[in-house]
Amino acid sequence: MNRHESLKKVKEISQWDIIIIGGGATGLGAAVDAASRGLKTLLLEQYDFAKGTSSKATKLVHGGVRYLAQGNVSLVKHSLRERYIFLKNAPHLSHKQPFILPVYTLFQKVFYGFGLWIYELLAGKYSIGNTKLLSKKKVVELMPTAQQKHLKGGVLYYDGQFDDTRMCVDMALTATKQGAVILNYAQVVSLKTQDGKVHGLTFIDTLNQQTYEVAAQAIVNATGVYAEKIMQMDDDTIKDFIAPAQGIHLVVHRDFFPSDFALIIPKTNDGRVLFAVPWLHYIILGTTDNPVPTIDIEPHAMEKEVQFILDHFNHYTTKVLQRADVNAVFAGLRPLVKLKNAGMKTSALPRDHTIHISNTNFITITGGKWTTYRFMAEQVIDKAIATCKLPDSKCITDNLLIINPADTKEYKDLLQQHPELTERIHPDFHYQLIDVYYAIRYEMAMQVEDILLRRTRMFFLNPRVAFSCAPKIAKIMAQELQKDDQWIQQQCQFIKDLLPIYTLG
Ligand SMILES: Cc1cc2nc3c(=O)[nH]c(=O)nc-3n(C[C@H](O)[C@H](O)[C@H](O)COP(=O)(O)OP(=O)(O)OC[C@H]3O[C@@H](n4cnc5c(N)ncnc54)[C@H](O)[C@@H]3O)c2cc1C
Report the C-alpha gap between 49 and 28 in whole angstroms.
8
Please give the CATH superfamily to which domain 3-53+166-241+338-399 belongs: FAD/NAD(P)-binding domain (3.50.50.60)
Helices 373-388 and 25-36: crossing angle in degrees, nearest 10, is 60
Rounded Cα distance between 245 and 222, Å, is 17
24 lines ligand 1 (CB under 6 A): yes
Q: Kindly report, residue by residue over 355-388, the tens digit of the pLDDT.
A: 999 999 999 999 999 999 999 999 999 999 999 9
347 pLDDT above the threshold of 50: no
Cα 436 to Cα 448: distance, rounded to the nearest angstrom: 10
**Any atom of ligand 1 within 6 Å of the Cβ of 109:** no
Give the pLDDT mean for 45-52.
98
For the Cβ of 47 lying below 6 angstroms from any atom of ligand 1, the answer is yes
Domain 405-502 CATH assignment equals 1.10.10: no
Q: Where does the pLDDT of residue 339 fall: very low under 50, low under 70, confident under 90, or very high at 90 and above?
A: low
**pLDDT (0 to 100) of residue 340:** 59
* Helix segments in 276-424, DSSP class H: 303-316, 373-388, 409-417
pLDDT digits (tens, 9 = 90+) for 11-35: 999 899 999 999 999 999 999 999 9
pLDDT given for residue 342 in this prediction: 43
Ligand 1 contact, 246 CB (< 6 A): no
What are 161-182's pLDDT values in tens digits? 999 999 999 999 999 999 999 9
Percent of the chain past pLDDT 90, that is, above it, reads: 90
Residue 22 Cβ inside 6 Å of ligand 1? The answer reads yes
**155: Cβ contacts below 8 Å, ≥ 6 apart:** 100, 101, 103, 109, 112, 113, 116, 131, 132, 133, 134
Q: Is residue 225 exposed (0-12), middle (13-18) or buried (19+ Cβ within 10 Å)?
A: buried
344 near 364, Cβ under 8 Å?
no
Rounded CA gap, 289 and 248, in Å? 8
| DSSP calls for 114-159 | HHHHHHHHHHGGG--S--EEE-HHHHHHH-TTB--TT--EEEEEEE
Split at pLDDT 50, 70, 90, the class of 136 is very high
User: Sorting pLDDT into bands at 50, 70 and 90, what band is 344?
Assistant: very low
Mean pLDDT value across the chain: 94
To test the pocket of ligand 1, the residue of 187, 223, 297, 374 to mutate (highest count of ligand atoms within 8 Å of its CB) is 223
Report the nearest atom of ligand 1 relative to the CA of 187. Answer: 42
Task: Name the least confident of 60-69, 305-314, 477-486.
Answer: 60-69
Residue 485 pLDDT greater than 80, yes or no: yes
**Beta partners for residue 336, in sequence order:** 243
Separation CA 312–CA 289 (nearest Å): 14
Residues 291-321: tens digit of each pLDDT: 999 999 999 999 999 999 999 999 999 999 9
CA of residue 307 to ligand 1 center, whole Å: 25
Q: Which distant-in-sequence residues (6+ apart) come within 8 Å of 278 by Cβ?
A: 97, 254, 257, 259, 260, 261, 262
C-beta neighbour count of 209 within 10 angstroms: 7
Using the atom order of ligand 1, give the atom closest to the CA of residue 52: 30
pLDDT given for residue 143 in this prediction: 97
pLDDT of 338 reads 76
pLDDT tens by residue, 148-160: 999 999 999 999 9
**Residue 389: what pLDDT?**
95
Q: What are the extents of the domains in the chain?
A: 3-53+166-241+338-399, 84-161+244-335, 405-502
How far, in Å, is the centroid of ligand 1 from the Cα of 226?
A: 10
Over the Cα atoms of the chain, what is R_g? 23
175 within 8 A of 40, measured Cβ to Cβ? no
- Whether 184 is in the pocket of ligand 1, judged by its Cβ within 6 Å, is no
Looking at residues 428-442, what average pLDDT do you find? 97
Determine the longest span between alpha carbons in the chain, in angstroms: 71
Fold type of domain 84-161+244-335: D-Amino Acid Oxidase; Chain A, domain 2 (3.30.9)
Q: What is the DSSP string of 213-282?
A: EEEEEEEEE--GGGHHHHHHHH-TT--S-EEEEEEEEEEEEGGGS--SSEEEES--TTS--EEEEEETTE
Site to substitute for ligand 1 among 182, 292, 370, 379, most atoms within 8 A of C-beta: 370
**Ligand 1 mean position, distance from CA 28 (Å):** 11
Q: Given pLDDT bands bounded at 50, 70 and 90, which one contains residue 66?
A: confident
Higher-pLDDT residue of 196 and 240 is: 196
Tens of pLDDT, residue by residue over 184-229, are 999 999 999 999 999 999 999 999 999 999 999 999 999 999 999 9
Q: What is the dihedral of CA 494, 496, 500, 505, to 10 degrees?
A: 180
